[in-house]
Amino acid sequence: MNDSNRLNIAAYFDFDGTITTEDTLLPFLVHCVGWSRILLNMPRIAPNIILYILRIIDNEKAKERILIILLKGYSFTNLDKKAKSFAYTHISKYIKPEVFAKLEYHIEHRHKVVIISANLAIYLRHWIDIHKIGDVIATELEFVNGTATGKLATRNCYGEQKVIRLEQYLTEKGLNFDYSYGYGNSRGDHELLDYVNEGYMIKGDEFSKWEK
C-alpha cells in the first residue's frame, strides 16, 4: 500500500495493551481514589471480579459495578482534574516506544488517527490533547448534575461495540476514508481489525498482519 496514492487515510488504535504495556484503568482508579479506598471496598469489588472470571457477568457489567463502588459521588470537576493530572504525569511510563512511533508516523503523514478504547474517555481525551492526536472513542462515565453515578453513559467500547461506535462517529462527523489501518492486541479488537482494510495484532512490540 503506497500512502502517496491515497489522500484520505485513517488509522485506528486500541489503547491498553496496544499503545501501552498494560491496562491503565487500575492505575487511574488508584490515582483518583487511592489504594485505601480500593482496599476498603475490596469485599464489594472481589465478588464482581469472581463473577466475571466465571463468565457469569460480562466485562461491561463487571466494570460498571466496580466503577459505581469507587467513583459514585465524585464531582465531574474533581474527576476531570484527576484525569488530566493522570494523563500528564502517569501514562507516559506505560507507553510502548515502537507502537507510539507508528502512531506518530500516521500523524506525520496527515492520516486521521483515532484512539478506540474500552477504557475511560475522561482521561484518554487529555492524553490525545497532549500529543495532538485526532480523536478518541472510548467508554463514557455517566454524570448527573455534575456528579458521577459510576454507571456507564455508553456501552463498554469493546468488541463489536468498537465498530458500532466508530461507524456512529464517522456518520456524525461526515467522514469517509479511502483506506484504513487498525491496531489492536486482544480479543476485544478482532471486530475492529476485521473492519479495516489493513489490520495489525500487536504483541509486546511486534506487529503481526491480521488475517481476516
Give the whole-angstrom CA distance, residue 95 versus residue 28: 15
pLDDT values of the chain reduced to their tens digit, one per residue, 212 residues: 555 455 699 999 999 999 999 999 999 999 999 999 999 999 999 999 999 999 999 999 999 999 999 999 999 999 999 999 999 999 999 999 999 999 999 999 999 999 999 999 999 999 999 999 999 999 999 999 999 999 999 999 999 999 999 999 999 999 999 999 999 999 999 999 999 999 999 999 899 999 98
* pLDDT tens per residue across span 149-191: 999 999 999 999 999 999 999 999 999 999 999 999 999 999 9
Q: What is the pTM of this model?
A: 0.94
* pLDDT tens per residue across span 52-63: 999 999 999 999
What φ, ψ does residue 58 adopt, rounded to 5°?
-90, 175
Q: Are 163 and 14 in contact (CB under 8 A)?
A: no
Domain ranges across the chain: 3-209
Q: Are 140 and 152 in contact (CB under 8 A)?
A: yes
* Lookup: cell for 4: 502517496
- Which residues partner with 1 through β-bridges? none
CATH of domain 3-209: 3.40.50.1000
In sequence order, which residues have a C-beta less than 8 Å from that of residue 53 and are 6 or more positions away?
none
Question: Largest Cα–Cα distance in the chain?
Answer: 57
